[in-house]
């Protein structure tokens, strides 16, 4: 379907989307790992994964509630310090994205809950089991990102760990970004 021609390079980008796919806790067929295996069969040159650094997928209600509270507290605090409250963009993000996500994580169960965040360690296991290996991150990109973050607030952090870049606010990791290539 992609009409990839011999010699063409294929790159697959998963920007804050793969967590919407159900896993083994929702569907015995495990569509999340199925997508990764299907992508692996395409032999892409690189896969990029960007996901929330939060553990709300299989946690019972109370730990999931606490995790959501702590995660989104850091998100809202970072927004509050970096963007004026009257900005339309901020209002839209808070009302139409963040509020919807929070309600879904807290109030929904089973297939109705589509916000199923996992920590990078779990994504790393899934990608490794699907036949991918971490692709080295660019130190140049890392340094450029650090410089950009300083323009917004001294409280943003950027840590390289286990082959991923972890964007954080103060002592809380918020987003993981990683690159992967086919093993063998």
Whether 15 and 24 have beta carbons less than 8 Å apart is answered as no
> Whats the size of the chain, residue-wise?
184
Distance CA 154, CA 157 (A): 8
Residue 160 included in any domain: yes
Q: Are 85 and 107 in contact (CB under 8 A)?
A: no
pLDDT for residue 141: 85
Question: Does residue 15 belong to any structural domain of this protein?
Answer: yes
Residue 67: inside a domain, yes or no? yes
Rounded Cα gap, residues 11 and 112, in angstroms = 31
Classify 134 as helix, strand or coil.
strand
**Dist. CA 108–CA 72, nearest whole Å:** 17
- Let me know if residue 128 belongs to a domain: yes
pLDDT recorded at residue 151: 87
Q: Does residue 3 form part of some domain?
A: no
At 184 the pLDDT is 63
Q: Is the residue at 6 inside a domain?
A: no
With residues binned 3-state (H G I as helix, E B as strand, rest as coil), the percentages for the chain, rounded to 5, are 45, 20, 35
Number of folded domains in the chain? 1
| Per-residue tokens: 63 | 């730990």
In a domain, 1, yes or no: no
Q: Where are the alpha helices (DSSP H) in 10-163?
A: 31-41, 61-82, 88-92, 99-107, 120-129, 139-152
Residue with the two structure tokens 């699907």: 130
* 3-state SS class at 138: coil
Q: What domain range includes position 19?
A: 11-182
| pLDDT tens, N- to C-terminus, the chain (184 residues) | 778 888 889 999 999 999 999 888 888 888 999 999 999 999 999 999 999 999 999 889 999 999 999 999 999 999 999 899 999 999 999 999 999 999 999 999 988 999 999 999 999 999 999 999 999 888 888 888 888 888 889 999 999 999 899 999 999 999 999 999 987 6
Pairing status of strand 172-182 against strand 132-134: antiparallel
* Domain presence at residue 2: no
């Amino acid at each position: 379907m992609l009409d990839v021609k011999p010699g063409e390079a294929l790159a697959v980008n998963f920007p804050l989307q793969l967590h919407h796919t159900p896993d083994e806790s929702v569907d015995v067929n495990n569509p999340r790992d199925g997508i990764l295996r299907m992508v692996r069969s395409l032999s892409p040159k690189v896969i990029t994964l960007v996901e929330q650094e939060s553990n709300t997928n299989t946690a019972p209600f109370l730990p999931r509630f606490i995790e959501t509270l702590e995660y989104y507290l850091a998100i809202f605090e970072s927004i509050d310090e970096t963007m004026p409250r009257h900005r339309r963009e901020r209002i839209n993000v808070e009302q139409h994205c963040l509020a919807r996500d929070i309600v879904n994580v807290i109030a929904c169960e089973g297939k109705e809950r589509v916000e199923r965040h996992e920590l990078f360690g779990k994504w790393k296991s899934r990608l490794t089991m699907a036949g991918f290996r971490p692709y080295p991150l660019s130190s140049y990109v890392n340094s450029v990102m650090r410089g950009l973050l300083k323009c917004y607030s001294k409280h943003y952090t950027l840590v390289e760990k286990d082959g991923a870049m972890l964007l954080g606010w103060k002592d809380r990791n918020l987003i993981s970004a990683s690159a992967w290539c086919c093993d063998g």
